[in-house]
Amino acid sequence: MDLSVIIPIYNEESNIPALYDRLREVLDPMGLRYEFIFINDGSRDKSLQLVQTLALRDERVRYIDFSRNFGHQIAVTAGLDLSSGEAVVIIDADLQDPPELIVPLYQKLQEGYEVVYAKRRSRQGESAAKKTTAKLFYRILASITNISIPVDTGDFRIISRKVVDALKRMPEQNKFIRGQISWIGYRQTFVEYDRAERAGGETGYTYRKMIRLALDGITGFSDVPLKVATVSGFLVSGVAFVVMLYTLYARFVSGNYQPGWASLMVSILFLGGVQLIAIGIIGEYIARLSANVRQRPLYIISDTNIPTTSPPDSQLR
């Protein structure tokens, strides 16, 4: 198998037929042995039936049906676990990632790179709020992690079997695949593209899911928030100490003191706020720690047409 195309699906019935046609138009002329791996991530529409119908007609169509919605990153992970291509493309189902770009991605990979990611030159049809938060997030992440996670890229990319094998050895529960791929290293490069509007249907990434992904990215690849908590603790204590000295001076030496309701409230609220933020930051890390200690399987497959001799790696863990 030369190429596996991994496509996570969450309520994408309006996009699947067009996606399949466009992928075939791109891949057939390339003369490769390839497979599609559709991962149905608990869709509530007809996505699964559509994919199963395709699979009846075309044996290159493989599918994995999850027992519920596990999330985009986990869906991609399952696809990677069960893929068999020498190269693997990760692509969104909503045609925001143009299938035509697979040709240059594949060519670059053949030049000896292990990872070729698609970098967004522009993004269409997304709210200003989403674009700004995404831009901000990628830059904050880049500045606080010690590995270089490329800015303005999603998971649309091609990776070699070597990288897939390395990914399979990373058992973390809170996946941030683009970060993991940067962490792995090897020769990486990119191809630029203009991100289109979603072809049909609506986004499956609610703000809640985006915030979780952002926190997974930060906590998975940086200890800076913990250090910020420590440093702000020291700063605030420093200020509190000075104020304390002044209070003692005012009370016992100058004797010029007022019943200070306002300053009391301000300092209590301020100290309380800093403490709660610091505890919250620690909590984010502890939550992920405990998720990893539980060692639950990452996903549960309810149905697949991919022959598996042994259960996939991450189901055993």
> Over the Cα atoms of the chain, what is R_g?
25
Residue 217 binds: one of ligand UDP, Mg ion, none (C-beta under 5 to 8 A by kind):
none
Count of residues for the chain?
A: 317
The entry of Mg ion, ligand UDP, none near residue 27 (CB within 5 to 8 angstroms by kind) is none
Among ligand UDP, Mg ion, none, the one that 114 touches (CB under a kind-dependent 5 to 8 A) is none
Quick one: what does residue 247 bind among ligand UDP, Mg ion, none, with the CB cut-off 5 to 8 Å set by partner type? none
The least distance separating ligand UDP from the CB of residue 200, rounded to whole angstroms, comes to 11
**How many residues make contact with ligand UDP (CB under 6 A)?**
16
**36 and 99 Cβ atoms separated by less than 8 Å:** no
**Distance of alpha carbon 10 from the chain centroid:** 15
Neighbours of 116 (CB within 10 A): 26
Stretch that binds ligand UDP, among 93-101, 170-178, 246-254, 282-290 (CB under 6 A): 93-101
Contact 61, 55 (CB under 8 A): yes
**Contact pick of 3, 16, 23, 75 for ligand UDP (by CB under 6 A):** 75
Q: Kindly tell me which residue out of 40, 77, 96, 304 binds Mg ion, with binding defined by CB under 5 A.
A: 96
User: Nearest Cα to 181, choosing from 168, 197, 163?
Assistant: 163
Q: How far is the CB of 283 from Mg ion (least distance, A)?
A: 30
Beta carbon of residue 304, minimum distance to Mg ion (angstroms, whole number): 24
Which of positions 21-50 make contact with ligand UDP (CB under 6 A)? Answer: 41
CB of 94 to Mg ion, least distance (A): 4
Task: Report the distance separating Cα 51 and Cα 129, nearest Å.
Answer: 33
Q: Which two tokens stand for residue 216?
A: 């997974």
Interface with ligand UDP, residue 97, by CB under 6 A: no
Return the one option of ligand UDP, Mg ion, none that residue 12 interacts with (CB less than 5 to 8 A, by type): ligand UDP
Q: Is 295 strand, coil or helix?
A: coil
Q: Which residue among 9, 78, 158, 159 contacts ligand UDP (CB under 6 A)? A: 9
Tokens of 274: 């800093």
Least Å from the CB of residue 39 to ligand UDP: 7
Rounded to whole angstroms, how far apart are CA atoms 227 and 193? 37
Helical pair 207-221 and 261-294, crossing angle rounded to 10 deg: 80
Query: How far is the C-alpha of 307 from the C-alpha of 74, rounded, in Å?
Result: 20
* DSSP annotation string for 53-93: HHHHH-TTEEEEEESS---HHHHHHHHHHH---SEEEE--T
Binding partner of 69, given ligand UDP, Mg ion, none, CB within 5-8 angstroms per partner class: ligand UDP
198 phi and psi, to 5 degrees? -60, 130
In the stretch 156-195, what mask flags binding to ligand UDP with x, by CB under 6 A?
A: ----------------------------------------
Taking alpha carbons only, the member of 308, 299, 313 closest to residue 40 is 299
Contact pattern for Mg ion over residues 54 through 93, marking x by CB under 5 A = --------------------------------------x-
CB of 198 to Mg ion, least distance (A): 5
- Beta bridge partners, 159, equal 88, 115
Side chain identity, residue 132? T
The site for Mg ion (CB under 5 A) is made up of: 92, 94, 96
The site for ligand UDP (CB under 6 A) is made up of: 8-10, 12, 41, 69, 71-72, 75, 92-94, 96, 203-205
